[in-house]
């Protein structure tokens, strides 16, 4: 049986910044510290699943104008906390780039590349 390719995952600086400033800040403000840490770990675990299944996410229709095929996976904790984890795959170098952590409750027209 052929070995499945494993992709390296890189979170871009702007995506990391949004995650720290908006997503983590929201978690700390709205959940206990223990629960916020659990949710953070769950998000990281969801991202790690992409390394073996890079195309499991849905194509992001709002970003189809770009040459990369942007995809997203959805993380939903509560009715008020859902984020799209936006990424694209560079198969030639075996890398996945996480470009945004987009809070779904925001307006879709604010979705943009964060690279």
For the segment 32-68, what is each residue's pLDDT rounded down to a tens digit?
A: 999 999 999 999 999 999 999 999 999 999 999 999 9
3 is a domain residue: no
C-alpha 2 chain-centroid distance: 28
pLDDT category at 19 given cuts 50, 70, 90 is: very high
What is the extent of the structural domain holding 54? 8-104
| Residue 9: partners with Cβ closer than 8 Å, 6 or more residues away | 47, 48, 50, 51, 95, 96, 98
- Residue 7: how many CA atoms within 13 Å on its side-chain side? 25
109 is a domain residue: no
Helix (H) or strand (E) holding 40: helix 33-48
56 is a domain residue: yes
The model's pTM is: 0.85
């Amino acid at each position: 049986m052929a070995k499945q390719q494993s992709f390296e995952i890189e979170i871009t600086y702007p995506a990391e910044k949004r995650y720290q400033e908006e997503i983590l800040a929201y978690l700390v403000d709205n959940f206990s510290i223990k629960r916020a840490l659990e949710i953070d770990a769950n998000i990281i675990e969801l991202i790690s699943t992409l390394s073996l299944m890079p195309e499991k996410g849905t194509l992001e229709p709002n970003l189809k104008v770009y040459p990369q095929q942007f995809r997203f996976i959805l993380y939903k904790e509560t009715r008020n906390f859902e984020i799209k984890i936006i990424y694209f795959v560079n198969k030639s170098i075996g890398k996945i780039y996480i470009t945004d952590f987009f809070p779904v409750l925001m307006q879709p027209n604010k979705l943009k590349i964060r690279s």
